[in-house]
Amino acid sequence: MKKLISIVFLLYVAYQLFVVFYAVPFGTDEVRSKVGRFYLEHSPKDLHVANTVTSIVVNFRGFDTLGEVTVLFLASTALGSILFRRREVHTRLSHLRTSVEASSIVRVAGRILFPLIVLLGAYVFIHGHLTPGGGFQGGVIIATGFLFLLLAYRQFTVEHRTIMWIESLAGITFAGIGLVGIFVGKTFLENFLGVGRLNDLISGGIIPLIYIAVGFKVAAELTGILDTILSISITVDETENQTEKNG
């Protein structure tokens, strides 16, 4: 009986999706021209956002972007859960992290370039509504800076509790901004702030705030994944088996 109900439900959902998609004339020049023209006209005029892609990702389809951030969170959580029991706290640090230290050139370069890389990442997601880039790109750049330190200093680790707090607060901020729009009489993730002047840093309404939250969230998640992967421990049995194979 349960299988029958499930099949009927899925058929009903499939029918509704077919009706909706069949009613939309996908691929026609008229639809493409109207949608594209709408985005190009309303991004600078209504939102005062110079980067049209940003206005689409964060405003016109902001709920979809929230879903993408959620998928990234679930993926990083699943990976961390799988690898956590093999981290240092359970066995010992991976031999890759206790092998010969990186050269002094790499260590000095890491110390000099790390703050510059983080600054570049922050610049990218803070100016995402003005120039190419945004929260995802800026977050990846910052995570790359931490990867540089992890490779340059083999004993360097990140505090996962701090990463967890940063990631959680960033996610709450993203969703909270959307909920505020509902409370002030607008829709979820609809802009409720002043849009400022075009090409000014303080412009675009909620778009810069969302991109800052996304930048912190992506940077924290990717940094945690990199540290976890590089800290995978190798048990004694695995080391012996690897030695026998090499011998």
Q: Are residues 58 and 79 in the same domain?
A: yes
Q: Are residues 12 and 87 in the same domain?
A: no
pLDDT at residue 105 in the model: 87
Q: What is the mean pLDDT of each run of 10 residues along the chain (247 residues)?
A: 84 85 66 72 81 83 83 81 59 56 84 94 90 88 92 81 89 89 84 84 87 91 84 53 51
* Cβ-Cβ contacts under 8 Å for 65 (sequence gap 6 or more): 57, 58, 210, 214
pLDDT at residue 114 in the model: 94
pLDDT at residue 29 in the model: 59
Domain's final residue, options 30, 47, 64: 47
- In degrees, rounded to 5, the angle at the alpha carbon of residue 219 between the alpha carbons of residues 187 and 93 is 140
Pairwise CA distance, residues 186 & 180, whole Å: 9
Among candidates 85, 116, 79, 122, which has minimal Cα distance to 224?
79
Q: Are residues 184 and 136 in the same domain?
A: yes
Q: Are residues 20 and 60 in the same domain?
A: no
Q: Are residues 27 and 59 in the same domain?
A: no
pTM: 0.73
Q: Are residues 10 and 74 in the same domain?
A: no
Count of structural domains within the chain: 2
pLDDT at residue 237 in the model: 47
Q: Are residues 94 and 36 in the same domain?
A: no
Q: Are residues 224 and 208 in the same domain?
A: yes
Q: Are residues 130 and 208 in the same domain?
A: yes
pLDDT at residue 240 in the model: 46
Alpha carbon of residue 37 to chain centroid: 29
Q: Are residues 40 and 57 in the same domain?
A: no
Q: Are residues 201 and 242 in the same domain?
A: yes
Q: Are residues 27 and 61 in the same domain?
A: no
**Residue 205 burial by Cβ neighbours in a 10 Å radius (0-12, 13-18, 19+):** buried
pLDDT at residue 239 in the model: 45
Q: Which domain holds residue 241?
A: 51-246
pLDDT at residue 116 in the model: 95
In the three-class reduction of DSSP (H, G, I as helix; E, B as strand; rest coil), residue 188 is classed as coil
